Amino acid sequence: MATGEGTFVPERGSAGHEAPQKKRYAMVIDLRRCIGCQSCTVACKEENNVPPGVYRTWVKVVEKGKYPHVSRSFVPILCNNCVKPICLLNCPVQATYQREDGIVMIDQHRCIGCKYCIASCPYGVRYVNPLKKYVQKCTFCHHRVDNGLVPACVETCIGRARIFGDMNDPSSEVSQILATEPVSVLKPEMGTEPRVFYVGLDLDAADALKTWQRAQEA
């Protein structure tokens, strides 16, 4: 049926119908609360059986300034479970797929290990499991989330810097922080729409190249 120009057509399942809304999981990391203890790094390794040498999450530690005016910044890094993941578009065998709730998954029985996803991910959060020989990454601990728990890194974070939840639910803590705090994401220019948000992200700490260039010169 043709609709007139300017007519508002509500999307199916949106306001007006009491249909349950789709979940969209997201994580907010309040860096003002992060102390760089790497507990999340350890908890993730433990929970997800991550072999030595590779990480699903870690805390990048950056130090800046000259004594006595110095500070340390921490940037916990993990898969952003993007809304528009380039890894998903580029995976030639559809081993990477996205769940209804937005979590980007890898089918371990499907992955051929071409590593194209690793090469195209702007965040460098995928790795080849050195023992099992296929690509893995953070999945927001989907096995825990499906059973009503929060991801292991969130559970273990001693400063409660990591907050996880459904950003489509306005009453969730994640939604409230997103609505009220100044949040940012890593590399927004990539257009991937990351779903890991940071509060209080430092420009220099988020910059992948600033310290790297210095290391090159040295």
Partner 1 sequence: MEVRTLFDTPNVIPLGKEIATYFYLTGISAGSFVISVIAVVGGKVEYKPLGKIGAVMAPVALVIAPIFLVIDLEQPTRFWYLFIYLQMTSPITYGTFLLTSYPLNAVIYAWALFTGNQKAAKTLGIIGIPLAVCVHGYTGFILALGKGRPLWSTALMPTLFLVSAMVSGFALMVIASSIYNKVTARKRPPQEIAIEKGLILNLVKFLGATIVVDLFLISNDILVLLTSKAEEYYVVDLLLKGQFKLLFVGIEIVLGSVIPLFLIFMRPFKGSLAAANVASAFVLVGIYAMRLTVVYAGQSIPLH
Question: Which positions lie near partner 1, rule CB under 8 A?
Answer: 55, 58-66, 72, 75, 77, 86, 89-95, 110-116, 118-125, 127-128, 133-135, 186, 190-192, 204, 207-216
| Distance in Å, CB of 92 to partner 1, minimum | 4
- Backbone φ and ψ for 119, nearest 5 degrees, come out as -70, -30
Task: Give the shortest CB-6-to-partner 1 separation in angstroms.
Answer: 33
Of 62 and 169, CB closest to partner 1: 62
Handedness of CA 208, 36, 41, 26 (dihedral sign): negative
Minimum CB–partner distance for residue 102 and partner 1 (Å): 18
Strand partners, 163: 28
Nearer to partner 1, 43 or 91 (CB): 91
For partner 1, which is the closer residue by CB, 44 or 145? 44
Query: How far is residue 213 from each of residues 99, 119, 122, 186, 210, measured CA to CA in Å?
Result: 38, 21, 18, 19, 6
Nearer to partner 1, 170 or 188 (CB): 188
Minimum distance of partner 1 from residue 210's CB (angstroms): 5
Give the closest residue to 108 by CA, choosing from 145, 136, 81, 131. Answer: 136
- Per-residue burial over 36-65, b if 16 or more Cβ lie within 10 Å, else e, is beebbbebbbebbebeeebbbbbbeebeee
Nearer to partner 1, 85 or 165 (CB): 85
Give min distance, CB of 95 to partner 1, in A.
8
- Give bridge partners of residue 77 from the DSSP assignment: 58
